[in-house]
Amino acid sequence: MRPQTKSQSLYAEALQVLPGGISRNTIFRKPNPDYVDFGKGCRVTDLDGVTRIDFANNMASLIHGHAHPVIVDAVTHQLQQGTAFTMATEAELRFAQHICSRNEGFEKIRFMNSGTEAVMAGIKAARAITGRPKIAKSEGAYHGTYDYAEVSQKSNPANWGNVDSPQSVPVVEGTPQAALDDVIVFPFNDINQTLELLDRHANELACVLIDPLPHRVGLIPASQEYMQAIRKWTQDHDCIFLLDEVITFRMGWGGAQDWYDVEPDLTALGKIIGGGFPVGGLAGKDEFMSVLDPTRDRLPFPFSGTFSANPMTMTAGRVAMELFDRQAVDRLNQLGDYARMKIAQAIESVGANACVTGAGSMFRVHLKSKAPTGYRETYSDPSENKQIEFLVNFLYERGFMMINTCSAALSTVLSESEIDSMVDVLSEGLEVLRKN
């Protein structure tokens, strides 16, 4: 019998004190997750000495990979000054100034501690602004774990209903029916169906919530026409256009919204703006952000948080985003183009029943012959899910960490060399699947 690895030993202990031995389902692997020793640049080494190239980057949050020396130096200095205070910090101000300088629509920003919290704050702000209770979101889109935002992110053929009137499907058992009733679900990128559904509830909707490149919908970009149609509808009906850029802010200097001829009312931020620390942000025009302003005589939306805008996150985030300048954004998006091109070539060379989607610095491999156009085409049955799991594990065992849908979020410390190595292994895995 082989001796237990260090990771196996730790997992046995973890099972005694953590449900399933973990606090994040995304890190679970069968028979056990591996435990990290350290990360440096684009590589992560586990406690058993195995080093892998990281294409997941903590679910798209590490734009400069691991332990970037400039960020490490900045937060080390701040650590010696203190980590959190019941006082304002200059670090918060300087970071707010930088984020707002990247986008003309960001006149004000309020920081919080996660992308989930940022979306939640955006929804609550929209309700405070409009006085309306309901929200609308695209079917399959992930917006965090707030009851309303998570509706229908995991719907399936048994419960999703007709495409012209998608059902509001809970993720968590026991979700109140009232929460489901306050969420209108529409098909992503389908202008006619979306507008028809919005029209049915025009006087009740506080906001329309959109991710311009929703991962779980298929990592398919919203079309220019779709975004313009949503923007016009929200303006015509005094409804808030809330853009979820928690993941996609990496796509442009001012976020993925730079790609579109529209300006949202509010934008939810997170992931990369924390520089490797927990973060969320809600940004927008002052007229909308004012509902959070405690200096006003009337405060429609009181909001606080013990660790919101803590100086560790504010320092790491500012340094990380200053490093992610226009040149770095362009270079990383070009690297994404290169990765998608090489993957498409590999799929064709192998003759695999697969395709690649994505934009900017992200990609996703689907085991489908044709790129999906929406969530219902992206949806994978159990058999396909097992094949995706095989492919992700095949890459992992050969030194490449991917997001569990066989997706990737690139970092600035990756190069074409790591892309080429990953694609070579991906080709091997696709060949195994083709033969089986």
Quick one: pLDDT at residue 354?
A: 97
- What pLDDT was estimated at residue 147? 96
Mean pLDDT of the chain: 97
- Please spell the DSSP secondary structure of 83-118, one letter per residue: S--SS--HHHHHHHHHHHHT-TT-SEEEEES-HHHH
Q: In whole angstroms, give the CA distance from residue 185 to residue 152.
A: 7
Q: What is the pLDDT of residue 3?
A: 77
Six-digit token string for 179? 């929460």
Angle at 187 between CA 181 and CA 193, to 5 degrees: 95
pLDDT per position as a tens digit, 87-136: 999 999 999 999 999 999 999 999 999 999 999 999 999 999 999 999 99
Which of 257-261, 316-320, 388-392, 418-422 shows the lowest mean pLDDT across its residues?
Answer: 257-261
CA distance linking residue 203 with residue 209, whole number of Å: 16
What residue spans define the domains of the chain?
34-63+326-435, 69-323
Average pLDDT rounded to a whole number, residues 209-214 = 98
Q: Extract the tokens encoding 196.
A: 């028809």
State the pLDDT at residue 148. 97
Q: Enter the tokens of residue 52.
A: 């892998």
Asked if omega into 264 is within 30° of 0 (cis), the reply is no
pLDDT score, position 2: 67
pLDDT at 436: 83
186, 193 Cβ separation under 8 angstroms: yes
Is the pLDDT at 364 greater than 70? The verdict is yes
* 10 burial via Cβ count (<10 Å: 0-12, 13-18, 19+): middle
Q: Average of pLDDT values for 178-201?
A: 97
Give the list of residues 6+ apart from residue 417 with CB closer than 8 angstroms, or none.
none
Task: Please report which helix (H) or strand (E) contains residue 43, including its range.
Answer: strand 43-46
Which are the contacts of 162, defined by CB distance < 8 A and separation ≥ 6?
none
Nearest to 52 by CA among 64, 42, 44: 44
Residue-wise pLDDT for 43-78, tens only, equals: 999 999 999 999 999 999 999 999 999 999 999 999
Instruction: Determine the Cα–Cα distance for residues 322 and 35; give it in Å rounded to an integer.
Output: 31
Separation CA 225–CA 262 (nearest Å): 10
- In degrees rounded to 5, what are phi and psi of residue 242? -105, 115
- pLDDT confidence tier of residue 362, bands split at 50, 70 and 90: very high
Give per-residue pLDDT as tens, 273-308.
Answer: 999 999 999 999 999 999 999 999 999 999 999 999
- What pLDDT shows up at residue 1? 56
pLDDT at 254: 98
Nearest-10 crossing angle of helices 90-101, 311-323: 30
Q: How far is CA 49 from its chain centroid?
A: 30
The strand pairing partners of 183, in sequence order, are 135
- The type of residue at 186 is F
- Return the CATH number of the domain spanning residue range 34-63+326-435: 3.90.1150.10
Over residues 13-40, the mean pLDDT reads: 95
CA-based nearest residue to 266, from 278, 250, 275, 255 = 255
Segment among 292-296, 380-384, 397-401 with least mean pLDDT: 380-384
Q: What CATH architecture applies to the domain 69-323? A: 3-Layer(aba) Sandwich (3.40)
> pLDDT digit string (tens) for 86-95?
999 999 999 9
Burial class of residue 87, CB neighbours in 10 A (0-12, 13-18, 19+): exposed
Mean pLDDT across the stretch 365-390?
95
Per DSSP (E only), the strands in 234-360 are 240-244, 266-270, 280-284, 355-359
Q: Which of 423, 375, 419 is nearest to 220 (CA)?
A: 375
| Residue 130, token pair as written in the block | 């409009």
Q: Which two tokens stand for residue 351?
A: 């003759």
Instruction: Please state, in angstroms and rounded to a whole number, the distance separating the CA atoms of residues 65 and 56.
Output: 10
What is residue 261's predicted lDDT score, i.e. its pLDDT?
A: 86
